[in-house]
Structure 1
Amino acid sequence: MRLQQLDLNLLVIFEAIYRERNLTRVAQQLNITQPAVSNALNRLRERLNDRLFERAHQHMVPTPVADDMIAGVREGLACLQRSIEAPALFEPAQSRKTVAFAMNDLAESLVLGPLLKQVSREAPHMTITSFNVSRREVLAELASGRLDFAVDVPVMSMDDLCHQPLMQEPYVCAMRPGHPALGGDWQLPHYLALSHIHVSSRRSGLGYVDHALNLLGEMRNVQLRVQHYLVAPDIVRETDLVWTLPAALAQRFGLATRPLPFELLPLQLHLIWHRRNQESGASRWLRTLLLDEAQVKLGHH
């Protein structure tokens, strides 16, 4: 089989099946009928002489041949998309592009407000979407074009990813106004003697603060663990629980604060994108928008 004779739409459908593992969702996403998806898969199976996907418990599980194909297919589709977009000069005021970010709710709280304020002014028809994507999936999502950017701490070092610092924010210990801990001595034993709230989307495991305390041979008393940053401020305002979080959020939530009585590196968020989008007009414009503002905040003039 010669690949140049293969219908490009078949590769689009192949990538969608690999990603979604469900023919119905693929049909809905691509706005075609499910029989059309099944027919395309059958044509690919015949051309490639492999089942490509096997049905198991309502999911389509890729065969080893499909696993071997997916990276090349995604790279080819992304290359074609760039070729189509490259000749057109990007005009923010006219753009109706939907830009997809991967970030957790902490990053959303810090990034989305300032970003949307600028985008609304310069690109009023542009749409911003944000998803919580696991780190192990970010590279594939960026490579496939399903994501345009990720905002995360700089823990991913992959040759295909580019990143630059977006913001740096110190941590503080926040509590309700009038909390007894706001007066008097404030040393590490006083901090450890308090009851803490910890926000994490994971069911268990240590957080950034706990790892830093462990290096000192210490442990705090986490009395409450919640999933979202939305609920924590109300709990802190109504109880004697304290919360270690970035200073900007504590200020936004109207909480009283004290500096941490131990060394903790500030929160660092980086803007991350795939190298294939390096020259994309929309990507370059958004990177400039975000990173120029970041340079001011980080103190680089």
Structure 2
Amino acid sequence: MQLAKIDLNLFIVFEVIYREGNLTRAARILNITQPAVSNALSRLRNSLDDPLFERHGDRMKPTAFAENLIGPVRESLWLLNNGLMSKSHFDPRETRKVIRISMSDLSSALLLPKLLPALRELAPGIVLETRYVPQDEVVENLTSFHLDFSIQAPQIMDQRLKNRPLLSNDYVCMVRKDHPVLHQNMTLDVFLKLNHIHTSSRPKGPGQIDLALDRIGKKRKIAVRLQNYLVAPELVKVTDLALTIPRKLAVNFDLATIELPFNVPEKALHLYWSTAKEEDPANQWLRQLIVDTATSD
């Protein structure tokens, strides 16, 4: 087959269908109708003599040929896109984009109350979608453009990604305002006698507090394990449970705050994005806004 006989725009549609696995979502991202997406896919199927995608429930599953094709297509589109970026202009007030960010429940609570008002004021046409993506899936999601950004602990080392620091925060312990422990000095022994709520996006494994205690040969009593940070303070209000979370988040709740009687490294968060988007004006503007709002008082 001759490449000159194929409409190269069809490869853009192909990449979005591959990424989304759904024609309706692909149409929304491409800002065209679903019949137009179906028509483009039909034309590319005829040109390449391969079905490319097969329907499995509500998802479009790529064929073996499509799996082999997606890498070269993405590389070509990235190279072309980067070549055009130097001439492109981005106007945040006029843009209509869906921005996808991976962040934990904790990161959302820390960052979104400041980021979202700024976005609504400066770029009202942007739709923000957030979800949690496990750390071992972040690289794939960013390099395949399933995500625009990921907010993570600074533990990912991959040349396909760029990152910069967002914020760091120390921890405090919270209890209800009439908790008996408030009549004592918070020593390590007192802390360890409390029953604790453990909050983590991960379904299992130790958290930063537990790791800090393990380094000094101690272990706390976990009474409840949650993946949702925001429900935890409500449980603290009505029980004798203790909750240890970042200080910047603790100020939002009507609870008593106690300094920790042992050393815990500050919680650091970094912003990650694909190296392929490094020169993208929209990506540049958005990541600067995220950093600015995260570091503002």
TM-score bracket for the superposition, by shorter chain length: 0.7 to 0.9
CA deviation string 1:114-141 (max 9, x = no partner): 1223334433444433222233333333
Per the alignment, residue 245 of structure 2 pairs with: 245
Per the alignment, residue 228 of structure 2 pairs with: 228
Which amino acid is the alignment partner of residue 223 of structure 2?
Q
Shift of 1:102: 1.6
- Contact 1:199-1:225 within 8 A present in 2 as well: yes
The size of the alignment, in residue pairs, is: 296
- Contact 2:114-2:293 within 8 A present in 1 as well: no
- Contact 1:110-1:249 within 8 A present in 2 as well: yes
Shift of 1:57: 6.9
Shift of 1:59: 5.2
Per the alignment, residue 155 of structure 1 pairs with: 155
Relative distance call for 1:147 and 1:186 in structure 2 (3 A) is same
| Cα distance in 2 between the residues matched to 1:47 and 1:136 | 37
Structure-2-length-normalised TM-score: 0.83
| Cα distance in 2 between the residues matched to 1:231 and 1:101 | 22
Q: Does 1:18 align with 2:18?
A: yes
| Cα distance in 2 between the residues matched to 1:124 and 1:62 | 35
Relative distance call for 1:92 and 1:60 in structure 2 (3 A) is closer
- Contact 1:165-1:294 within 8 A present in 2 as well: no
Q: Secondary structure of 1:158's match?
A: coil
Q: Does 1:256 align with 2:249?
A: no
- Contact 1:24-1:34 within 8 A present in 2 as well: no
Q: CA RMSD in A?
A: 3.1
Per the alignment, residue 287 of structure 1 pairs with: 287
Provide the identity percentage: 41
Q: Secondary structure of 1:133's match?
A: coil
Q: Does 1:115 align with 2:115?
A: yes
Relative distance call for 1:5 and 1:158 in structure 2 (3 A) is farther
Question: Is there any run of 5+ residues in structure 1 with no aligned partner, and where?
Answer: none
- Contact 2:26-2:37 within 8 A present in 1 as well: no
- Contact 1:82-1:280 within 8 A present in 2 as well: yes
Relative distance call for 1:67 and 1:261 in structure 2 (3 A) is farther
Per the alignment, residue 173 of structure 1 pairs with: 173
Relative distance call for 1:42 and 1:284 in structure 2 (3 A) is closer
Per the alignment, residue 187 of structure 1 pairs with: 187
Identify which range, 233-242 or 280-289, moves more after superposition: 280-289
Shift of 1:181: 1.6
Alignment of 1:1-301 (within 5 A): 1-22=1-22, 26=26, 31-33=32-34, 37=38, 44=44, 47-48=47-48, 52-53=52-53, 60-83=60-83, 86-292=86-292
Identify which range, 78-87 or 175-184, moves more after superposition: 78-87
CA deviation string 1:8-53 (max 9, x = no partner): 343234323433445566567655447963x655655565566655
CA deviation string 1:78-98 (max 9, x = no partner): 444455554233333444444
Question: Is there any run of 5+ residues in structure 2 with no aligned partner, and where?
Answer: none
| Cα distance in 2 between the residues matched to 1:89 and 1:55 | 38
Q: Secondary structure of 1:151's match?
A: strand
Shift of 1:163: 0.8
Structure-1-length-normalised TM-score: 0.82
Which amino acid is the alignment partner of residue 168 of structure 2?
Q
- Contact 1:196-1:221 within 8 A present in 2 as well: yes
